């Protein structure tokens, strides 16, 4: 399983990154009570490193999509690491001054990491506050469509997804399974409930009722 967190400028400016950090830690605390292997990633761009070189293209050549924004990805917790050893790293989420969010390619990168894992089921939880945004030759709709295409591609290859909106409902435009967190208690009523339903057929060290309990940490 993977927790993938948008760390764009809007997340930092509007202080949503603090809520995202709390959500990530609550999810981690929940997963720690199961046998599920998981990692925590963050993504964003640093426009100070932007060049005129085209860095990526859309899968469909008829769609005018390209970017010059360089992507950054952080591994706050690797699969093999213990949460107790990674809480300090997760706590630094709000300290990274990022600019934009290349959601489509970041989700694709996350999907590729999951595909390399040995587990029979792969689940991605995407924490985001908006739409794809970056410097490059692409309209807003092309950026949005690229994300939709990547989600569809990942799901065809077996990655199950839940979009978690951090104080916005934008995830509803992209993810079939989604929930919105305005306050931390919304997590147990939304995303964790959906996660429990996804995982209910697997074997765990805790009951499904325990799965939807999240403590406020971070």
Sign of CA dihedral 199, 200, 201, 206: positive
Q: Identify the H or E element spanning 77.
A: strand 71-77
Percentage of the chain beyond pLDDT 70 is 83
Which residues touch 60 (CB under 8 Å, ≥6 apart)?
149
List, for residues 54-63, the tens digit of each pLDDT value.
445 444 555 5
- Locate all alpha helices (DSSP H) within the chain, ordered by sequence: 9-13, 16-31, 87-90, 103-115, 140-156, 185-189, 191-199, 208-211
Could you give the domains of the chain? 2-211 (3.40.50.410)
Q: How far is CA 98 from CA 53, 131, 161, 167, in A?
A: 20, 15, 24, 19
Indicate if the pLDDT at residue 215 is higher than 60. no
Indicate if the pLDDT at residue 158 is higher than 90. yes
Residue 50 pLDDT level (bands cut at 50, 70, 90) = low
pLDDT at residue 69, as a whole number: 79
What single-letter DSSP state applies at residue 182?
S
pTM comes to 0.84
């Amino acid at each position: 399983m993977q927790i993938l967190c948008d760390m764009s400028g809007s997340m930092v400016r509007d202080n949503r990154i603090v809520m995202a950090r709390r959500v990530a830690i609550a999810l981690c605390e929940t997963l720690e009570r199961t046998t599920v292997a998981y990692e925590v990633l963050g993504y964003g761009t640093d426009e100070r490193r932007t060049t005129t070189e085209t860095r990526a293209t859309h899968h469909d050549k008829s769609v005018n999509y390209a970017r010059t924004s360089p992507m950054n990805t952080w591994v706050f917790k690797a699969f093999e690491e213990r949460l107790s050893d990674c809480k300090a790293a997760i706590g630094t989420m709000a300290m990274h001054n990022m600019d934009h969010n290349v959601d489509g390619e970041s989700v694709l990168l996350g999907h590729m990491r999951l595909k390399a894992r040995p587990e029979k089921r792969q689940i991605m939880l995407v924490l985001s506050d908006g739409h794809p945004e970056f410097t490059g030759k692409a309209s807003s709709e092309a950026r949005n469509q690229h994300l939709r295409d990547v989600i569809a591609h990942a799901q065809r290859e077996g990655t199950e997804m839940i979009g978690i909106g951090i104080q916005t409902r934008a995830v509803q435009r992209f993810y079939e399974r989604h929930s919105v967190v305005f306050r931390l208690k919304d997590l147990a009523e939304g995303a964790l409930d959906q996660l429990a339903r996804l995982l209910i057929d697997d074997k765990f060290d805790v009951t499904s009722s325990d799965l939807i309990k999240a403590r406020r940490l971070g």
